[in-house]
Chains A and B, each alone.
Chain A
Amino acid sequence: VSERFASGFHPFVLPFLVGILFVLAYCLVGLIRIIIQLPGQDRRRFLLSLITPKTALKNIRDIFCDCLLHVKLWKRNRMLGLMHSSIAFGWFMLIVLGHLEVMIYCPNRIRLFYYPIFFNYFVAKGESTLGGSVLFFLMDFFLLVVLIGITLAIVKRVRSRMFGMRRTTQLSLTDRIGLYSLWAIFPLRLLAESFTAHISGGSFLTVPANWVFRQFLGNDLNMLPTWWAYSIALGVFMVVLPFSRYMHIPAEMMLIPMRNAGLKIRHPRRGFAKLEVYSCPGCGVCIDACPMSVQKANVKDCTVYLNRQIRRKNEKRIDEISDKCLLCGKCEAVCQVGVEGPALRLAQRESRKYSFSPDYSNIPTDPLVKAAKGAKVLYFGGCMTRLTPAVGKAVTSVLGKAGVDFVWMDREEGLCCGRPLLTAGRTDQAEKLVQMNTEIILGSGADTLLLSCPICYKIFTEQYKLPGVRVVNYTQYFHELLNEGRIKLEKSDVCYVYHDPCELGRGCGIYEEPRKLIGTAAAIAEAPACREESICCGGSLGSLSLDFAHREVMTRKALDNLYASRADAIATACPLCLATFKRYSTRPVRDIAEVIDASIVQ
């Protein structure tokens, strides 16, 4: 291979050159700004993690698997995985091989950004070597891989259902420009390389195409316009990239190391949150996942649109979206990039200013401590359990039958656990309740804190510091009682479908114990969407602004999912889910404690 031009330059590379320099500059400035915005402690942690061999290796592996091969996406949806990995990995290989070609054949040009991209235009084929033809074959092969990916992408735009997606995101103008230029890049590259294949050489794609074109065109006049078009398509894509969803390509590569360093969202817009927002690829998987999207009016309140509004700095809509969310966490569970939609909204809620703040200093804790004394096991029902007396009754009945010595600390009166305040963004007030409850629990002298409400359980495991006290959910505790033989269950012929409450399942990762308990006490069926993909009952305290009319539609949708299992009755492990389902369900709804209590044999 020899060079065709002594200057090694042609004006058609300019659009590409402008684009790539712009993108690189934009990303560099963005990265520096994000690192500056991080709180000092986080920044140190992040920079340290970059030089720690273990996390550094994990970063490289994660970037390779998630950004290029899209392993997570493959596991979730094979068609989408194929599409994304063929575009990303194919393109990556084209760039790598392009650089390899330049390094081998004209190493003095390696410093020019455009040379590896437009290599075929600048060289002429000399003698063929085995190494050369392998390289040319690989170039054509990966171009074919990318073209397959692009074809799939076009099909997906037209028929998203073929890819298992009911709804996709509505694209913004820059997204559209980015999308169409991305579609254009690779067919144009094929054309451009085909027109020059008789000069530069090629392989199984470009050489036959060149032969076909020469049969009816007969001259080389088409060569330059196609190279120009290819360069312009690249340039347009790079210029709109920072303002479109394609920003996720560079952003995700920065997000992965920061996440591996253990960084958390601390500000609704700045630092890590900003990086997460920019990492959103706008794929719209969260739209189908969101329980609110059963109503068309709420589709624009999904995480993908929150990210878009944050990027547009549309404060009014950001507030609306943040308040509406149920915080069920499903969008986070299905997100391939790991954008923490609920945490972004919580940070937004925390940034609010209030002119009135409740105060709990008038509440004396001594009588509450006194009421909690007397047993090793302390049962905290929480507000929701006290509102659904059947749950508390069943729990105490099971404990009584198992011979557990316990005290129900908030049977008469008790404080809230603080989680509702926390989800409303009122962290200071929540912290006061946490302190008061901690005082009561530690003062009681108990060594086990039993909770029958997953909302309480989540905050007790995450925010409370209770040295020497084991915090346990009632499903776990009953499962232990069953294993120790302290309760014996008789299997009934009723078939239950278990509904995973958001806070217990996705929130605390408890999926097995409730199923084992129900499986011992009765027959059990699974709903189509269960475990991590369970659908929120619609009653969640996480939403601040959703009213009953909107919630009802969600509850009915969640019930439809449970009915699909063909079970006789529904069992759940959350008093709030219980109360919500009971309102509309046509089949009996039971708390897991009631199911256990009914089937205990003495």
Chain B
Amino acid sequence: MIDFGFGLSRSAAVNLDEADLSLYRQLEKLEPGVRTCMACGACTATCSASPWSQTSVRKVILALQRGQDPGPYLQNCMLCGKCTMVCPRGINTRHLILSLCRIYRKP
């Protein structure tokens, strides 16, 4: 194959009919607050781990809702609780993260 210096990026389309949402459903039971997230991104903005990775509760929830792997967005979480304090919806994000860490499996 000749390298032309560019390639085709894989489609980012999410087919919700085929996505595996079982992890999200399981998390909903443990921390119902996850449903109230409006993806405002306050948690992303304050995250202590953001300089080094994509760690963000917003992305975790988004990945779960799309049936994707939330692992990369939890990678550097230090559980410091800043996201909990700034969340305008009052989601207990620390409980969300801990619950997810317990039930986590790669989709």
Residues of A within 8 A of B (CB): 323, 352-360, 362-363, 383-384, 386-387, 413-416, 418, 420-421, 424, 426, 429, 433, 539, 541, 544-549, 576, 579
Interface set, chain B 82-104, CB cutoff 8 A to A: 82, 85-86, 90, 92, 94-95, 98, 100-104
Q: Given the complex, which residues of B lie within 8 Å of A359, measured CB to CB?
A: 75-76
A360 touches B76 (CB 8 A): yes
- Give every chain A residue within 8 A of B46 (Cβ-Cβ): 387
Nearest CB to that of B89 among chain A residues? A548
Is B71 part of the binding interface, using a Cβ–Cβ cutoff of 8 Å? yes
Q: What string of 1s and 0s marks CB contacts (under 8 Å) between B4-18 and chain A?
A: 000000000000000
- A359-B75, A420-B94, A424-B79 known; 19 new pairs, CB 8 Å cut-off, are A354-B101, A356-B100, A356-B101, A358-B74, A358-B76, A362-B52, A362-B75, A383-B78, A383-B81, A384-B80, A386-B48, A386-B82, A413-B48, A414-B48, A420-B80, A433-B78, A539-B85, A548-B92, A579-B85
Across the interface, do B94 and A424 meet the contact criterion of CB distance under 8 Å? yes
Main secondary structure of the interface of B (DSSP, over half): loop
The answer on a CB contact under 8 Å between B90 and A383 is no
Q: Which residues of A contact B104 (CB under 8 A)?
A: 354-356
Instruction: Choose from B78, B92, B95 the contact partner of A420 (Cβ within 8 Å).
Output: B78
B37-59 residues with Cβ-Cβ distance < 8 A to A are 46, 48, 51-53
- Specify the chain B residue showing the minimal Cβ separation from A549: B90
- Contacting residues, chain B, for A414 (C-beta < 8 A): 48
For the complex formed, measure the closest distance between the CB of B102 and the CB atoms of chain A, giving whole angstroms. Answer: 6
Contacts of A323 in B (CB 8 A): 95
State the Cβ distance, B31 to closest chain A Cβ, in Å. 9
Contact check, B48 vs A415: say whether CB atoms are below 8 A apart: yes
Q: Is A358 a contact of B75 with CB atoms below 8 Å?
A: yes
- The smallest C-beta distance from B63 to any residue of chain A, in angstroms, reads 13
Q: From residue A364, how far is it (CB to closest CB) to chain B in Å?
A: 8
**A/B interface sample: 9 pairs, CB < 8 A:** A359-B75, A362-B76, A363-B76, A383-B82, A387-B46, A415-B48, A420-B94, A539-B85, A541-B94
In the complex, are the beta carbons of A424 and B92 less than 8 A apart? no
Decide: A416 and B79 in contact? CB cutoff 8 A. Answer: yes
In the bound complex, what is the Cα–Cα distance between A383 and B50 (angstroms)? 13
A352 touching B79, Cβ below 8 Å = no
- A352→B99 CA distance, assembly (Å): 11
Contact yes or no, A546 B92, CB < 8 A: yes
Residue in chain B with minimal CB distance to A413: B51
Closest to A544 in B: B95
The distance from the CB of B20 to the nearest CB of chain A, in whole angstroms, is 16
- Is B105 among interface residues, defined by CB-CB distance under 8 A? yes
- Closest 6 pairs between A and B when the two form their complex, measured CB to CB: A356-B104, A416-B78, A548-B90, A383-B80, A413-B51, A416-B80
